[in-house]
Amino acid sequence: MRSLDELKRKKLWILDMDGTIYLGDRLFPETIPFLERIKQCGARYLFYTNNASRSKDTYVTRLCGMGIPVGEEDIVTSGETTIQFLQRHRTGKAVYLVGTPDLEAAFRKGGIELSEKAEIVVVSFDTTLTYEKLNIACRLIREGAEFLSTHPDFNCPVEGGYLPDSGAICALVTASTGKMPRYFGKPYDEVVSMIEEKYGVDRGDMVVVGDRLYTDIAVGAQNGMDSVLVLTGETKREDLAQSEVQPAFVVESIGNLLLSNEKNSFLRCVWQGGTSFLTYGNDEIRKHQRGQVTGSSFAVSFLRTIKRAAAAATATTVMTMTHSHGTFAMPVISNSPVSPLCSCPKTAATS
């Protein structure tokens, strides 16, 4: 089993936003400490979101308002990926855009002509969607316009549920026209190639973190990057059994990533002074001793850490600490909110 410690060697963290660092207007409390840990590891992070309904300027304002210091250079959207494709491969062609005013402004800023008499239709997550927009898009596609979409997400997670996203709108257009779009954004290679070019980091030194198997995790699986699934957004743990796409790591939230050995001591620890068994479940801690156990300040600190960990446990968990000459311990953890680990640093015994 791979260790989360491997991620400390990554140079670039590609972070989803909706359902990963915040939900709706609520910033997850783990977010800012996690971003600090990335910087402490000597790495950098960027935010890549498939949600193209907002411009980069809007995202900068939004994130800074939440207490996250970012600039435009720290944010990439599926809208930006789509604009770059149009600039490089569809130069001078007019586009009919089914998108928000923010996205329209971004297209115009990128030199893309917007028109109702267009050779290309681009459909995105449009919270200002009207029947008239759908009708024009479907008519142009039936008449031969190329059908593109910024991203394939079906739902956008928000407080209390989901909003129909770009993929859902495209499904409606497909049902009417019989045409499938070419998608951009995660999980497609254009995303990774653009990030490699823009930030000068090889994809093997990147890790992507997100809440959706078919976009966030798939972009890693299909493009040679490690991926981390967080369970704070769209995907639930039971969804993994039915998915062909599997993440390298699964955690409850970003709060479980890049923890120091000290903070992760309920998984990696040394019980010094004798053989002990610690059983914890619900709010109860019981320490069973075999032979004489010599106490230490470390032991007291360790027990307090276990108590805090027990409060987060999803089920009764048994940790067996096997001591040998006071030099090492081997914890075995099941039903834990964090993937089990079974290795410990060696240390000298103290009494």
Delineate the domains of the chain, giving CATH numbers in brackets. 4-50+186-256 (3.40.50.1000), 79-183 (3.40.50.1000), 260-351 (no CATH)
* Residue ranges in the chain modelled with pLDDT below 70: 261-351
* Amino acid at site 318: V
Q: What is the pLDDT of residue 332?
A: 33
Q: What is the pLDDT of residue 261?
A: 60
Q: What is the pLDDT of residue 343?
A: 31
Q: What is the pLDDT of residue 107?
A: 96
Q: Whole-angstrom Cα distance, residue 184 to residue 219?
A: 11
82, containing H or E segment: helix 78-89
pLDDT digits (tens, 9 = 90+) for 11-37: 999 999 989 999 988 999 999 999 999
Q: What is the pLDDT of residue 316?
A: 37
Those residues whose C-beta lies under 8 Å from the C-beta of residue 153, and which sit 6 or more positions away, are 50, 51, 125, 165, 166, 167, 185, 212, 215
Tally the C-alpha atoms within 13 A of residue 94's C-alpha that lie toward its C-beta.
8
Q: What is the pLDDT of residue 69?
A: 87
Q: Whole-angstrom Cα distance, residue 306 to residue 301?
A: 9
pTM score? 0.69
pLDDT digits (tens, 9 = 90+) for 63-120: 999 999 899 999 999 999 999 999 999 999 999 999 999 999 999 999 999 999 999 9
Task: Using alpha carbons only, give the angle 231, 151, 10 rounded to the nearest 5 degrees.
Answer: 55
Helix axes 78-89, 101-109, angle to 10 degrees: 40
The CB density around residue 295, as the number of other CB atoms within 10 Å, is 11
Q: What is the pLDDT of residue 150?
A: 97
Burial 169-187 (b: 16+ CB within 10 A, else e): bbeebbeebebebebbbbb
